[in-house]
Structure 1
């Protein structure tokens, strides 16, 4: 995989593409904020701190971190999950995401999300985006982001080495997971935080184009221009 930059453009070439969901393909900000605000209000917690650290992280990990001692973590996480499943108001695709996905070979794409399979289905459907055949949900991993397990699993399912893939992510935990997996990672949107060296940042996909090539050996590659 390669990355070349100039003052105006960057070009990235890979064999497979791994997408996060919330904030990366689907804008569900309004729902996420409503659910976590209700959680914070119940226990008198700092909502700003919760929102700052919960992006891209499994809900149970956030509940475990912030809920008072003695809380039934599993029951509370399930309750918050039901609240999220019941809400689809305000869900929209990230600009340019459906168009970019339509240009990509389906067998070169994976979804890697901290959401459950049910929640991913609801949110992707609400945004009008189909779930890729290869998907890694919260139920499929033992360790959520920022651990690289999900991205490593997705790359293996697509049959590519981490160095031959690219990750699109919106949150610090997901960016850290992609980089820890040894995968070139592109940050998307306003929630990426301070970026590690070498991480490209884009506001959305409206300015992204992709072309498909075949090497002399018949290997398919995808070239992204930003």
Structure 2
């Protein structure tokens, strides 16, 4: 019987890290599936197809895609958002996420999420994670993932070029957004779909190590060992 060779440690160096939230830092799968299951049942829609395509995408975009003709998409998205805000049971941080965030300098981290700011605050708190000082939420951008706007905005806010940043994402739409922004992207968890060439994968952050060095001008250089 052959024994697989141990994985070679992979180290990436960057000046800023941009995290998605749901599925990447926070496990909110139970609630997300509850809400979309109820939405699908109301209109007799294919719930499996909605769940397959909704991860990482703004709720309004999913509603517009699946809601019956003539439905008030904006009103439905607002209703779904209100449902999500009062459901926190079962929300937890991904293993190692809190430890990694505690190591990273605050001026080099941004949350880039398809949730609005209110929901992002609720879910991060429910998971016991500190909200980064900088966050790009759905209410701050015009185009949601897979469009790169959110990640480009995040890099700009942190004052780094896309090539100097690193994205952590869990869903195909978010991975596509990171790559479209010209940012190296690491896929997280089991729901990434087929990975584009060059995209590394981790199950969670339990084996991720980070070291930070600071330049004379205060700019950090982060080494991430996956």
User: C-alpha displacement at 1:48, in angstroms?
Assistant: 0.9
Q: What is the TM-score when the length of structure 2 is the normalising length?
A: 0.95
CA RMSD of aligned residues (A): 1.4
Q: Is the 8 A contact 2:117 2:137 kept in 1?
A: yes
Q: Give 1:223's aligned residue.
A: 223
Residue 71 and residue 140 in structure 1: after superposition, are their counterparts in 2 closer, same or farther (change >3 A)?
A: same
Residue 219 and residue 108 in structure 1: after superposition, are their counterparts in 2 closer, same or farther (change >3 A)?
A: closer
- What secondary structure does 1:110 align onto? strand
User: C-alpha displacement at 1:215, in angstroms?
Assistant: 5.9
Q: Give 1:21's aligned residue.
A: 21
Residue 114 and residue 195 in structure 1: after superposition, are their counterparts in 2 closer, same or farther (change >3 A)?
A: same
Q: Give 2:90's aligned residue.
A: 90
1:175 aligns with 2:175: yes
- What secondary structure does 2:49 align onto? helix
In 2: Cα distance, 1:217 partner to 1:134 partner: 20
1:111 aligns with 2:108: no
1:52 aligns with 2:52: yes
Residue 216 and residue 77 in structure 1: after superposition, are their counterparts in 2 closer, same or farther (change >3 A)?
A: closer
Q: Give 2:156's aligned residue.
A: 156
User: C-alpha displacement at 1:203, in angstroms?
Assistant: 0.2
User: C-alpha displacement at 1:9, in angstroms?
Assistant: 1.4
In 1: Cα distance, 2:144 partner to 2:69 partner: 22
1:69 aligns with 2:84: no
Post-superposition Cα deviations, 1:166-196, rounded to whole Å, max 9, x if no partner, equal 0000000000000000000000001100000
Post-superposition Cα deviations, 1:24-73, rounded to whole Å, max 9, x if no partner, equal 01000000000000001111111111111000000000000000101010
In 2: Cα distance, 1:132 partner to 1:215 partner: 21
Runs of 4+ in 1 over 4 A off after TM superposition: 214-219
In 2: Cα distance, 1:181 partner to 1:200 partner: 17
- What secondary structure does 2:111 align onto? strand
Alignment gaps of 5+ in structure 1: 1-5
Q: Give 1:3's aligned residue.
A: none
Q: What is the TM-score when the length of structure 1 is the normalising length?
A: 0.95
Q: Give 2:188's aligned residue.
A: 188
Residue 182 and residue 78 in structure 1: after superposition, are their counterparts in 2 closer, same or farther (change >3 A)?
A: same
The number of equivalent residue pairs is 221
